[in-house]
Structure 1
Amino acid sequence: MTTIPPRQKVVEDKDRRFYVHAPSSVYLSLQQEAVQRGTNVWTLGGLVLAQWLSAGCPDLAASSESPCPSPSPVAGPSRSAGE
């Protein structure tokens, strides 16, 4: 190919697998959540990214104190400071 091809009017939106970097603890949490949801880590990770992109890539709270909208049963019950 000697020239840049023209843009296509219709492009097939194929599923693609790609790699991301995250701490081992994040990968483990994603695997556990995927099991709880009856899927695999690749599919769940892709769905999370797709929803984040669809939402306009909002900034997420960096604090671990922010409530999770859908707590995972894997995380277990929360404990108060007095326990």
Structure 2
Amino acid sequence: MLIEEVNIAEHINWINGKILLRHVPFKKIVKKLERHYNVKIINNNKKWGQELITASFDIETIDQVFQVFNETYKMDYNIKEGQIIIN
């Protein structure tokens, strides 16, 4: 058994509409974003699956979230009709 201190904010911020990501694999982030923004995300670039991302979002739109990803991580994506395609 291992007892360690955790930051519960990472796990309960969704209640207040916030997304807090600390070294989270991108494939898990995709699921969080799909649920939070009610969109479908298709990741055609498999290198992003295991990429660890650190970010936090509050009132940003899904377009703003992906603009941040693009600026920070140089992610090529398209948003069209509630669907996001990552190339």
TM-score scaled by length of structure 1: 0.25
Q: Which has the higher contact order (CA 8 A, sep 6+)?
A: 2
Structure holding more helix per residue = 2
TM-score scaled by length of structure 2: 0.24
Larger Rg: 1
Structure holding more strand per residue = 2
